[in-house]
Amino acid sequence: MEHIFREGKANHPVFIMLHGTGGNETNLLPLGEILDPEAAILAIRGDVVDNGMLRYFKRKEEGVYDVEDLNQRGEALHQFIVESSKEYNFNLDDAVFVGFSNGSNIAINILLREDSQVNKGALFAPMYPVDVSHNTKDMKDVSIYLSMGENDPIVSLNDSENVVDIFETRGAEVTTFWVNSHELNGETAMQAKAWLNRVFK
């Protein structure tokens, strides 16, 4: 997979950066500088092209996922992250998903996997309209920051609350912050930084 890796300093997180639809692996690098300029970064490019825009998995239409493709590509991305941890010599316990929109959504898919060793995520504008009732993963060791829009034209309030519920019902520690729209602004970035400083010790 096309990606950027930047080595960080010891005792700092490793950001696994996953862009939104139409973005690329460079989009979230400025956010990484805000969250922790000394963190390592693994920024991965989505390899699905949808109307000329890069994504991480296929969709049937806006808000309707191709769940089979999501699961297959989620597994492939998960394996790439595991392999990258060996290649670049970082500990997956130090990894933090940093995702926006489509990137947040595939991060949720990986976090829900029983074999996922990544247990932290800062997810901006997430949506996960997938039946996960069969998933009984214990997430008591998972800590998640969720940034959601009160007037998001893409993600409804019910969809946002569903994401919160996915994590809370499985025992994860969830921190929420509400913005206006489908966005990643300076205020929520600073709130994510505060969350990161608290959970990454």
Specify whether 66 is catalytic.
no
Task: Indicate the DSSP class of residue 88.
Answer: T
Which entry of 36, 85, 94, 101 is annotated as an active-site residue? 101
| C-alpha closest to that of 105 among 70, 141, 152 | 70
Q: Where are the beta strands (DSSP E) in the chain?
A: 3-6, 14-18, 40-44, 48-50, 53-55, 59-61, 64-65, 95-100, 120-124, 143-149, 173-179
Which residue type, as a one-letter code, is found at position 120? K
Out of 84, 104, 116, 152, pick the active-site residue.
Answer: 152
Which one from 36, 85, 104, 182 is the annotated catalytic residue?
182
d(CA 161, CA 178): 11
Q: HEC states along 127-184?
A: CCCCCCCCCCCCCCCCEEEEEEECCCCCCCHHHHHHHHHHHHCCCCEEEEEEECCCCC
Instruction: Give me the amino acid identity at 27.
Output: N
Give one word for 45, left, alpha or beta, with left for phi > 0 and alpha for psi -120 to 50: beta
Strand partners, 124: 100, 147
Q: Would you please indicate which residues are annotated as catalytic (active-site) residues? A: 101, 152, 182
